[in-house]
């Protein structure tokens, strides 16, 4: 039985005329309408099948194209990483040539004879010794004691004194992204909130990034927030930006320390002056140590250290020796397990068991002050001073 006839049979009785009075023309008309409806349904079914087939073919083509895109993306990322590595190496060569101020044309290392290579290495070693010529021969032996100077509610921050001048002022920078510096008249004014005079509020022109700020000869040096690698030299008294520079060598691409998520460039001061520490993608997560000339704010020299950022939480320098603090995260312990000396006077055999007292969290900053020979640290809202013990390094050969 055709579908049209079957549908007619299913019509309610009240829609059909009485059995004896059915009009053949009416019945024929109803059959025709159902035939049209049936043809429309068949066309709809065919169109739906065609649409499903087209959609399946489209999905198949899209899947193939996505697979090709993933392949192209992987190849593109690999090419970008290789290019970044080459750019980083080129930038290091440029920095080195700028420091040496050589006017002669560059000579490919492959074309140099062994005596020429040895001569270049000797000249570079001489330049490094000239750069690090301060009469400082101490190396860290132990963390003697801990003193909690003050407790605040702020998990991250930094605090410091000027690392060169005899000023008793204490500076506090709260948070990892801010532009407000609190200046206290002295340590007592900082530790006792009721002590007068009240702290002075200094609003910087730019905000800092991380907890890596240092105060050197009256100038605050910090990583400019919102930029990957810009350092700012700020005059706190004049409230002006004195200098700014872009730190080369891949700085700011990744955070410096695994356990300090907000710091991408760390700054430090020791007896030799101003330093910057960062992690570059082109050197497999190893930390880069850069000596900075603070007057004109330019790179003097850079070293790829063997110290890895994985597991690190902070670092500092004493007499040109680079110490990196590692931990397993919260609850410590905090140990110095990697030390790097650009002059080569400190070896692994010289290292004692260097560790910090157990603290509840990783340090957001540990900075050495060469004026009072102490470490200033911030840990879980605690402003801490670590007293240290040193000994003389081996004499430079």
Residues 160 and 82 in one domain: no
pLDDT mean by block of 10 residues, the chain; 397 residues: 48 49 75 83 87 86 83 75 65 56 43 62 66 79 91 93 92 96 94 81 96 95 95 94 91 90 95 92 79 94 92 94 86 85 80 82 93 94 94 75
Burial class of 254 by CB neighbour count within 10 A (0 to 12, 13 to 18, 19+): middle
Domain, as residue range, for 48: 1-8+23-100
Residue 310 lies in a domain: yes
Q: Is residue 128 part of a domain?
A: no
Domain boundary among 85, 100, 115: 100
Residue 188 pLDDT:
92
**DSSP assignments along 326-386, one per residue:** E-SSTT--EEEEEEE-TTS---GGG---EEEPP-SS--SEEEEETTTTEEEEEETTEEEEE
Number of domains in the chain: 2
Residue 129 located in a structural domain = no
Mark whether 179 and 257 lie in a shared domain: yes
Helix axes 24-100, 114-131, angle to 10 degrees: 80
What's the rounded Cα separation, in Å, for the pair 261 and 255? 6
pLDDT (0 to 100) of residue 74:
73
**Sign of the CA dihedral with 199 first, then 204, 208, and 213 last:** negative
**Which of 48, 72, 100 marks a domain boundary?**
100
Closest among 137, 134, 184 to 164, alpha carbons compared: 134
User: 67 and 209 share a domain?
Assistant: no
Separation of alpha carbons 79 and 231, rounded Å: 29
Within-domain flag for 107: no
Q: What is the dihedral of CA 342, 248, 255, 226, to 10 degrees?
A: 150
Token pair belonging to 332: 């410590």
269 and 314 part of one domain: yes
Tokens of 103: 């006017």
Residue 209 resides in a domain? yes
| Residues 177 and 78 reside in one and the same domain | no
Of 53, 71, 100, the last residue of a domain is 100
Same domain, yes or no: 58 and 143: no
pTM of the entire predicted model: 0.69
Whether residue 194 sits in one domain with residue 45:
no
Within a domain: 111: no
Confidence (pLDDT) at 3:
47
**pLDDT at 253 (0 to 100):** 87
Phi-psi region of 344 (alpha: psi -120 to 50; beta: other; left: phi over 0): left
93 and 141 in one domain?
Answer: no
Say yes or no: 223 and 176 in one domain: yes
| 193: CATH | 2.120.10
Task: From 361, 360, 363, select the one nearest 377 (Cα to Cα).
Answer: 363
80 within domain boundaries: yes
Q: Are 321 and 139 in contact (CB under 8 A)?
A: yes
Q: How far apart are CA 380 and CA 358, in angstroms?
A: 12
Residue 17 lies in a domain: no
303 and 197 together in one domain: yes
Q: What's the distance, CA 301 to chain centroid?
A: 21
Question: What does the pLDDT read at residue 110?
Answer: 46
Pair 342, 272 in one domain: yes
**What gap in Å lies between CA 173 and CA 155, rounded to an integer?**
12
Looking at the fold, whether 384 and 279 belong to one and the same domain comes out as: yes
């Amino acid at each position: 039985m055709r579908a049209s006839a079957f549908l007619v049979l299913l019509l309610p009785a009240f829609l059909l005329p009485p059995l004896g009075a059915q009009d053949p023309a009416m019945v024929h008309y109803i059959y025709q309408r159902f035939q049209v409806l049936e043809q429309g349904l068949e066309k709809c079914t065919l169109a739906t099948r065609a649409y499903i087939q087209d959609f399946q073919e489209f999905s198949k083509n899209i899947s193939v194209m996505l697979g090709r895109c993933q392949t192209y993306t992987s190849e593109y990322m690999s090419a970008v990483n290789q290019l970044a590595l080459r750019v980083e190496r080129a930038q290091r060569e440029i920095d080195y040539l700028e420091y040496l101020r050589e006017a002669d044309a560059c000579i490919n290392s492959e074309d140099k004879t062994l005596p020429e290579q040895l001569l270049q290495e000797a000249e570079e070693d001489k330049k490094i010794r000239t750069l690090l010529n301060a009469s400082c021969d101490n190396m860290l032996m132990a963390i003697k004691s801990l003193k909690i100077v003050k407790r605040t509610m702020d998990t991250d921050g930094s605090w410091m004194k000027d690392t060169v001048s005899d000023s008793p002022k204490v500076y506090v920078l709260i948070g990892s992204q801010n532009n407000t510096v609190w200046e206290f008249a002295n340590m007592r004014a900082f530790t006792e909130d009721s002590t007068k005079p009240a702290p002075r509020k200094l609003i910087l022109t730019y905000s800092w990034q991380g907890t890596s700020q240092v105060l050197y000869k009256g100038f605050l040096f910090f990583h400019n927030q919102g930029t990957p690698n810009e350092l700012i030299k700020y005059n706190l008294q004049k409230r002006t930006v004195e200098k700014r520079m872009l730190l080369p060598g891949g700085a700011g691409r990744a955070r410096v320390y695994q356990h300090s998520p907000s710091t991408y460039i760390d700054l430090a001061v020791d007896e030799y002056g101003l330093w910057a520490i960062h992690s570059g993608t082109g050197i497999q997560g190893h930390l880069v140590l850069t000596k900075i000339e603070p007057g004109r704010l330019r790179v003097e020299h850079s070293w790829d250290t063997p110290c890895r950022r994985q597991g690190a939480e902070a670092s500092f320098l004493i007499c040109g020796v680079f110490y990196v603090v590692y931990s397993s995260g919260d609850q410590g312990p905090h140990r110095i397990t990697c030390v790097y000396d650009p002059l080569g006077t400190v070896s692994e055999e010289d290292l004692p068991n260097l560790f910090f007292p157990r603290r509840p969290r990783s340090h957001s900053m540990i900075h050495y002050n060469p004026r009072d020979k102490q470490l200033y640290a911030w840990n879980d809202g605690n402003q801490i001073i670590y007293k240290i013990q040193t000994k003389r390094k081996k004499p430079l050969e």
